[in-house]
Amino acid sequence: MYDIIIVGAGPAGLTAAIYARRAEKTALVIEKSTFGGQITHSPRVENYPGFAVMSGTEFADKLVEQALGQGAEIELDAVNKIEKTDNGYKVICDGGEFFGKAVIIATGSHHRQLGIERENDFVGEGISYCAVCDGAFYRDCSVAVIGGGNSALQEAVMLSDICKDVTVVQNLDFLTGEQKLQSDIEEKKNIKVILSATVTGIIADSKFEGIRLSVKGEDVELKVDGVFVAIGQQPENEPFRDVVKLNEYGYIEADESCLPETELQGIFVAGDCRTKAIRQITTATADGATAAISACRYIDSLK
């Protein structure tokens, strides 16, 4: 029986483990794939306080090292379900079952990908999923933004201030972002919009050179230095539907105190998997600290 079981080993989950151990609570972190989460795909991180520059992998490695150094345990397994028990929760995984007095769900979310050949080969080397994170690397360059919703248009406007030119590629014959953002796009002289277009491939030899499009059935090559994919995110919360409330997009309904909407006590949520306005490393680690402190207080109240 652990004090706290943490599902997910991204920045939120690992920070929660560090805080739990410093409060002298036993902590188990369960991760199904990559320790560190999405940040491991970023070749350069320049917006985390206290570190001028580091790679996402370096950041993740330091978090894992710190959590293990504090005495947290880490298990590589996939969580399928969480069930209430008489004295806590049972976390059911592919490889077995684990028991804890409290559970922190910190599974994060992943960016929807284009689903084209060699996409993963050029992540961080021409393909990005976050203009806030990586936009500065394309200063004075030509870039494309894939998507037509609010996130895509916001990224296009931001990138237009630092890039030579920006091309918005939307698969529909109209933009879906709010009218104010569409007006902002129209006012920017260095932003071009291509409608009714889908990305069909990557132009590259050893280096990323652009993308291939199908525009109303016609094959078109778009030579750009980088592509920012903004077609939405996908949370991984389906296994927890029975214990917490999910919104229409699959995110866990939760407030800033990291308490989800649920009738069950002892369940907490942290990071990108919950409803929130901003999803960055700093907000994920803040959630991890908040959720862990809340979980520790809950466990102390049981005594």
Question: Which of the following is catalytic: 130, 163, 273, 296?
Answer: 130
Tell me, rounded to whole angstroms, the distance of Cα 83 from its chain centroid. 26
Contact 222, 213 (CB under 8 A): yes
Claim to verify: residue 55 and residue 123 sit in the same structural domain: no
Q: CA 133 to CA 42: how far, in whole Å? A: 8
Q: CA 291 to CA 244: how far, in whole Å? A: 15
Claim to verify: residue 151 and residue 105 sit in the same structural domain: no
Claim to verify: residue 149 and residue 101 sit in the same structural domain: no
In the listed set 173, 196, 229, which residue is the last one of a domain according to the structure? 229
Claim to verify: residue 6 and residue 65 sit in the same structural domain: yes
Question: What residues have CB less than 8 Å from 264, skipping those under 6 apart?
Answer: 84, 243
In the listed set 202, 229, 256, which residue is the last one of a domain according to the structure? 229
At 151 the pLDDT is 81
Question: Which of the following is catalytic: 3, 93, 134, 287?
Answer: 134
Q: What is the pTM of this model?
A: 0.76
Q: CA 8 to CA 63: how far, in whole Å? A: 13
pLDDT digits (tens, 9 = 90+) for 51-101: 988 988 899 999 999 999 999 999 999 999 999 999 999 999 999 999 999
pLDDT of residue 238 exceeding 80, the answer is yes
Half-sphere exposure of 9 (CA within 13 A, CB side): 30
Claim to verify: residue 221 and residue 131 sit in the same structural domain: yes
Claim to verify: residue 117 and residue 225 sit in the same structural domain: yes
pLDDT of residue 15 exceeding 80, the answer is yes
Claim to verify: residue 219 and residue 239 sit in the same structural domain: no
pLDDT digits (tens, 9 = 90+) for 188-211: 999 999 999 999 999 998 899 999
Domain containing residue 128: 113-229
Residues 35-53, mean pLDDT to the nearest whole number: 82
Residue 133 known to be catalytic:
yes
CATH of the domain at 161: 3.50.50.60
Residue 134 known to be catalytic:
yes
**How many domains does the structure of the chain reveal?**
2
pLDDT of residue 133 exceeding 90, the answer is no
At 175 the pLDDT is 95
Backbone angles phi, psi at 66, to 5 degrees: -70, -40
Higher pLDDT, 292 or 263: 292
And the tokens for 79? 């969580």
Question: Which of the following is catalytic: 93, 133, 258, 296?
Answer: 133
Q: CA 14 to CA 8: how far, in whole Å? A: 8
Residue 199 CA: distances (Å) to CA of 32, 207, 244: 30, 18, 36
In the listed set 194, 212, 229, which residue is the last one of a domain according to the structure? 229
Claim to verify: residue 199 and residue 256 sit in the same structural domain: no
